[in-house]
Amino acid sequence: MALLIALTALTMLAAVWRLLNGPTTADRLLSVQMLGTTSIAVLLLMAEWQQQSHWRDVALVLALLGAVISAALVQLLRPVQKRDPARQRGQS
């Protein structure tokens, strides 16, 4: 069981490589999503291995927040439309 967890955790290395090397922001967010899914898998395996149910709670929160991250960051990262600078300045 521990070996299975270790191997699953090792697959995260690929996501980390992609996260470090890009090349696009979408790739990075994608790797974050992959990391999240793999973390969930590791947590579920750990819950079974150590017979502790808290890890499933953590996995649930991670799944929810992972969904929020990719949705929120995509919306935040979309470029700000060019408006007339006067209004932008006027606000500050």
Partner 1 sequence: MTLLLEALCIALLMGGLFFFLTGALGLLRFPDTYSRLHAVTKADNVGLGLLSAGLALSAADFQSTGFMALIWLLVMASGATSAQLLARYQREQDQQEPPTDGDR
Partner 2 sequence: MAIAEIILDATLIGLLLVMGLGTLHTRRTGASIALFAGFGMILALVWARLGAPDLALAEAAIGAGLTSALLLRAASITEEEEISIPARRQWLSWLFVAVVFVWLALHVIRLSTPVDSPSLPNLVAGHLADSGVDHPVTAVLLNFRAWDTLLELLVLLLALLGFRQVARRNQHPYDADSHPAPWPLLKAWSRSLAPLLVVTGMYLLWRGSESAGGAFQAGAVLAAAFVLLRLSGQLPVVHWSRWTVRLAALVGPALFLTVAGASALAGEGWLDYPDGMSTPLILLIEAAATVSIAVTLAFLVSGEEEDIAE
Residues lying near partner 2 in the complex (CB under 8 A) are found at 2-3, 5-6, 9-10, 12-13, 15-16, 19-20, 22, 25, 28-29, 31-32, 35-36, 39, 42-43, 46, 52-55, 57-58, 60-62, 64-69, 71-81, 83, 87-88, 91-92
Q: Which does 85 bind (CB under 5 to 8 A by kind): partner 2, partner 1, none?
A: none
Minimum distance, C-beta of residue 17 to partner 2, in the bound complex (Å): 9
Q: For CA atoms 49, 54, 58, 61, give the dihedral sign.
A: positive
